[in-house]
Structure 1
Amino acid sequence: MCGIFGSTRKLDNQALTSVMDSLDHRGPDSQGHELLASSASEHPIIFAHTRLAIQDLSASGHQPMTSNNRRWWITFNGEIYNHFELRSKLTNNFRGSSDTETLLEYIATFGIEKTLSEINGMYALAVFDAQENMIYLARDPFGIKPIYFSIEQDELTFSSEVKPIFASGLHRLQSLNQNALGDFLHLRYVPSPNTLLKGINRLRPGHLLSYNLTNKQSIERPFVKSSFSKFSGSFSEAVDTYRNGLSNAVQKQLISDVPVGVLLSAGIDSAVIAALAREHSSDITSHTVGFGSQHQECEISDAAETAKILGIRHEATTVDPTTLIDSLADIVNSVEEPLGTTSIMPMWYLTQLAKKSATVVLSGQGNDEPWGGYRRYQIELLLQQLPFLKSSIFQKADKLSALFKSDPIKRGLRCLGYKDDANRFGNAYALFTPGELGLLGVGNEQPNTSIDYWLNLLANSETIEPTERMMRIDSRMNLADDLLLYSDKVAMRYALEVRVPMLDPDVVQLVESFPLDFKTNLRRTKLVHRAMARDFLPKAIIERPKRGFQVPFGQWCKTTWRDYMEANLLSPNLKINSSLNSDGIKMIWHQHLTGSFDYSRQLFALLTLSLWMETYLSSQEQTEESRALNLSSANC
């Protein structure tokens, strides 16, 4: 795992030094940059890299790296798990054993597109083809590794993170992308290719960006293909096939020349990963974070019990609300984007704990989406079984949601009355109701463009049921730009590589081929997954209630965090007041305090948005024109 950067712009030494400094935390083991000549450019192209050495710790893994024929250059962040298999197809004389060299020589032999169709891994990469004067950027199929880019005055700049792009001299006056603000308030994150920063884009998962240095044109297109294959075996055969596939994925992802650990919660997913890791390695340590036994969200004791049953070493750390207050601004700064996911806070301390004894950790993240582990999938399944609830006459049921305090019930009611998948899914994802968005002075336009994009790309078939369509979208959009994004940013702040075996492409393709009733029904979720877990986990662990890496944030808002919340949400001079209606924020805050409704999810999203704005937006106030645009869209 590393940091990458590149630009077709001319950078002076001071700017380049600032870029490398801003990437240093991602790759503390070595740094490198190359000035690459191109017949289509008057000045050299810059490729830069900071290295966290995982495989082949020698200098032969140093980057940027060139191919044997000197045609190709690469700066690469990630891991290729099948690189030994790929290497066996090549006849090159290799300098070392790194997966980067294998990847580069495979590209040199077979080309970028064929290579992307055959590699199994997590990655964000850039390659320069000196013969054709082309630069290619690629992000893995599930977006485990992010890559940002900016094209200003026809010049391309890219990086693993946003700050190196700023350090290079671009976007010194950082301004808000008004069009993305509504997406954030609807989804609690901004789906690729957009970000909240004007001029900064995030490459979609499973996509390739081609930039032509000769004519300065760029094209982004998908290299992922939708699979419509159907598993034809029995339930028990599915269990055996899945066990073998996931076990192979864990075994491949244990390959490392540095220590490997496991992030362990109280749930079944991380317990399965820990159990399979224990089968393939005797040297495994698990790591857990919690908030103390007085909070039901604390997972330390249950995780410790799991570790004891599996016979692995276990380490835990406890954090308190005051400690989290002190760290939240730093967390938001490191994530570089606001997210409405409270688990970014415990993850900050979990990665620090794990880094003390490991450089690589396996995580159970990414399993709920392919297996249908969230309640919204069961709501969608109910609508499939009772299709009359999609009739437009039920749209008025949304008004009944005000009678309920339960957030899942409110969102479920908002899904009624919509036959169109994109509208229905958008309501299922919604963080704020239309009325609440109106209070905030924001229009109620759903992020249907992103939803429709993924529907058309991966789920546009009558053979795929609506519930499965939602699961496929979430596996590429929700995961990549929310959960996996903060995992990468938080962990790499401490130079820790997080691997996610559940998102092995072969495993996900297998799971997506299973019949829906092998995955979820109205009463239970992850059916084959749970059945497989019985091979090595007791029933008590398999049937533990889902906690979802939650934080008692709603309770803390009314006590320990109250002053902090009011200072960062209600103070009159905050930048958030230039984009959102401050009276609306106050109303939501007071309704939470009085217990009228649990607005903890919404308040955390607003809090991280406010903290992010204070750090990332320029000190210039939002113009009256853009403010008027917000208000007029809210009144539409």
Structure 2
Amino acid sequence: HIGADRPRVAFLARDLIRAAIAALAKEHNPDLITFTTGFEREGYSEVDVAAESAAAIGVKHVVRTVNAEEMMEALPLIVWYLDDPVADPALVPLWFIAREARKHVKVVLSGEGSDELFGGYTIYREPISLRAFEKVPGAMRRALGKISQRIPEGTKGKDLLRRGSLTLEERYYGNARIFRDDQLRRVLRTFDDNVGHADVTAEPYRLSEGWDPVARMQHVDLFTWLRGDILVKADKMTMANSLELRVPFLDAEVFRVASTIPLEQKITKETTKYALRRALAEIVPAHVLNRRKLGFPVPIRHWLRDEMYDWARTIITESGTDELLDKQAVLGLLDEHRAGPHDRSRQLWALLVFMLWHGIFVEERIKPEVPEPHYPVKI
């Protein structure tokens, strides 16, 4: 992955994986540069910890801070480059970090795939917390599910009871669950009860029948979340900036090793990526070894209540998606989010990205300022 062109940049956040890549890459290239994005919002910046990691590893570090105004201005162009309405807020900091990195190099290293292979998502610990439900007969579990429906929203334990009443195939459909069915019915003009997540996850679950629950969850994520979101946004945001992204954790040899790790070495009650953390203990700075993964956190929850509220309202009211979406319901969701205490930011973000995409590619009403292509030879 280093290759003859010796990539000189690694994306460095405050988590274990990017620090490991930076530390290992520096052994091959002492001139390595690391990059981090931060936001002008307290609690959503990885800058300080990433800078500490870079100093401990001994590499140059560059920071790109993003504000709400820049995010709103860039989003139509970002959606244009995506081609599809990928509604992952993390693609925004990835866009800005790629633009900054391209000023220095043509190739970068990043940590995509490590969570899916080594058990890095907190949700993978869920089967441990739900083990007690496995001893409950099926009919009684279904009764518990009905009881959970009567418990008021926001009550502690409601979601645990609901999820414990479901089979793995019913409750887990990837790492990006945003809408419940009742919430979809609220905003969609047409809702088909015969179409659901099971249509997407049925094949991964069929192929992983008989595996332990965590391995099956990983398998689902490999063929849905990783392939349909993580790698899509990483590839398109970097290539849009003429930057090549390499992902060493998805190397075939790494995959082979990861597939041999037993369940108890992936997930424990206390931590994720247990075996990988032990393997990297002598490589990464101590302050990131057991730090909780944040990835690229984006403060949309706060900004949609404040700086981005009017912007979001304009996108909704001007959108030509009336045949598909109940725009009054979407506006209601926005106002509900602003009033609090419920967080509807991920749902709103998915709807806003879809409306922008629809405005660009279907209505042809929104026209991002796309840079003119530059060709190395005359065509």
Q: Same fold (TM over 0.5)?
A: yes
Match of 1:596 in 2: 341
CA distance in 1, matches of 2:169, 2:201: 6
Shift, 1:426, TM fit: 3.0
Which of 273, 276, 288 is equivalent to 2:24? 276
The answer to whether residue 145 in structure 2 is matched with residue 395 in structure 1 is yes
Structure 1: runs of 5 or more not aligned: 1-252, 621-636
Q: Does 1:553 align with 2:303?
A: no
Give the strand-richer structure, 1 or 2. 1
- Cα 1:277/1:326, change in 2 over 3 Å: same
Residue of structure 2 equivalent to 1:626: none
Partner in structure 1 of residue 45 of structure 2: 298
Q: Secondary structure at the match of 1:324?
A: helix
Question: In 2, are the aligned partners of 1:414 and 1:428 still within 8 Å (CA)?
Answer: no
Which residue pairs with 2:212 in the alignment? 465
In 1, the alpha carbon distance for the partners of 2:39 and 2:245 equals 22
Q: Do the aligned residues in 2 keep the contact of 1:291 with 1:320 (CA within 8 Å)? A: yes
Does the aligned pair in 2 maintain the 1:297–1:547 contact within 8 Å?
A: no
Structure 1 counterpart SS, 2:321? helix
SS in 2 for 1:365: coil
- 2:234 is matched with 487
Deviations 1:122-150 (A, max 9, x none): xxxxxxxxxxxxxxxxxxxxxxxxxxxxx
Q: Distance in 2 between matches of 1:540 and 1:397?
A: 44
Q: Distance in 1 between matches of 2:150 and 2:295?
A: 27
1:355 maps to amino acid? R
1:451 matched to 2:196: no
Aligned to 1:129: none
Amino acid corresponding to residue 32 of structure 2 in structure 1? I
Q: Considering only CA atoms, is the larger Rg found in Structure 1 or Structure 2?
A: 1
Aligned equivalent of 1:614: 359
Structure 1 residues 387-536: aligned runs within 5 Å: 387-388=134-135, 391-396=141-146, 398-399=148-149, 402-404=152-154, 412-419=160-167, 421-426=168-173, 429-441=176-188, 442-444=191-193, 445-457=195-207, 459-460=208-209, 462=210, 464-536=211-283
Aligned length: 359
Contact kept in structure 1, 2:119 and 2:266, CA below 8 Å: yes
For 1:122-133, what aligned pairs fall within 5 Å after superposition?
none
Residues 349, 601 of structure 1: alpha-carbon distance in 2 compared, 3 angstrom cutoff: same
With over 3 angstroms needed to count, the CA separation of the structure-2 counterparts of 1:395 and 1:426, relative to structure 1, is: farther
Indicate how the Cα distance of structure 1 residues 579 and 435 shifts in structure 2: closer, same or farther if over 3 A, else same: same
Are residues 322 and 411 of structure 1, via their aligned partners in 2, closer, same or farther at CA, if it must alter by over 3 Å?
Answer: farther
- Structure with more helix by fraction: 2
Stretches of 4+ aligned residues off by more than 6 angstroms:
none
Task: Report the secondary structure of 2:89's partner residue.
Answer: coil
CA contact (8 A) 2:87 2:350 kept: yes
- 1:414–1:485 distance in 2 versus 1, CA, 3 Å: farther
CA contact (8 A) 2:53 2:285 kept: no
SS in 2 for 1:592: helix
1:527 and 1:397 map into 2 onto residues whose CA distance is 36
Distance in 2 separating the partners of 1:411 and 1:439: 20
Kindly indicate whether the alpha-carbon contact (under 8 Å) linking 1:339 and 1:608 is maintained by their aligned counterparts in 2: yes
Residues 136-215 of structure 1: pairs in structure 2 closer than 5 A: none
Q: Distance in 1 between matches of 2:147 and 2:294?
A: 29
TM-aligned CA deviation for residue 397 of structure 1? 5.1
The equivalent of 1:346 in structure 2 is: 93
- Out of 306, 317, 327, the position equivalent to 1:582 is 327
Amino acid at match of 1:451: T
Distance in 2 between the 1:545 and 1:286 partners? 20
Cα 1:410–1:535 shift into 2, 3 Å: farther
* Matched-pair contact (CA < 8 Å) for 1:343–1:551: yes
Cα distance change of structure 1 residues 405 and 352 upon mapping to structure 2, 3 Å threshold: farther
For residue 576 of structure 1, what is the amino acid of its counterpart?
T
Q: Report deviation, 1:411.
A: 5.8
Deviation at 1:401, TM superposition (A): 7.0
Question: Deviation string for 1:363-406 (max 9, x for gaps)?
Answer: 01221122222232111332245414672222225526752289
Say if 1:527 and 1:378 are closer, same or farther in 2 by CA, change over 3 A.
same
Q: CA deviation at 1:296?
A: 1.0
Secondary structure of 1:588's match? helix
1:324 to 67, 71, 75: 71
Letter of the aligned partner of 2:81 in structure 1? S
Classify the secondary structure of the residue corresponding to 2:10. Answer: strand
Code of the residue aligned with 2:198 in structure 1: it is N
**Equivalent residue number for residue 335 of structure 1:** 82
The alignment partner of 1:545 has SS state of coil
**2:37 and 2:97 in contact (8 A); partners too:** yes
Distance 1:259 1:429, change over 3 A: closer
Contact 1:401 1:413 in 2 (8 A): no
Contact 1:261 1:361 in 2 (8 A): yes
CA contact (8 A) 1:439 1:583 kept: no
Matched residue of 1:576: which SS?
coil
Q: Among 1, 12, 22, which residue is 1:264 paired with?
A: 12
Q: Give the CA deviation at 1:522.
A: 2.3
* Cα 1:428–1:349 shift into 2, 3 Å: closer
**TM-score computed with the length of structure 1 as normaliser:** 0.54
- Distance of aligned partners of 1:340 and 1:590 in 2 relative to their CA distance in 1, 3 Å threshold: same
Give the direction of change, closer, same or farther, for the CA distance of 1:328–1:359 in structure 2 (3 Å limit).
same
Q: Deviations over 1:283-340 (max 9, x none)?
A: 2111111114x52110111111101100111111111110111001111111111122
**CA displacement 1:404-436 (0-9 Å, x = unmatched):** 289xx77655423223x3222139753112221
Secondary structure in structure 2 of the residue aligned to 1:575: coil
Aligned counterparts of 2:305 and 2:51: Cα–Cα separation in 1: 31
In 2, Cα distance between the equivalents of 1:348 and 1:411? 34
Unaligned stretches of 5+ residues in structure 2: 366-379
Q: Equivalents in 2 of 1:619, 1:455: separation in Å?
A: 39
Residue 382 of structure 1, aligned match among 129, 140, 152: 129
Q: Which amino acid aligns with 1:602?
A: Q
What displacement does 1:619 show?
6.2
Q: Structure 1 residue 453: deviation in Å?
A: 1.2
Q: CA deviation at 1:614?
A: 0.5
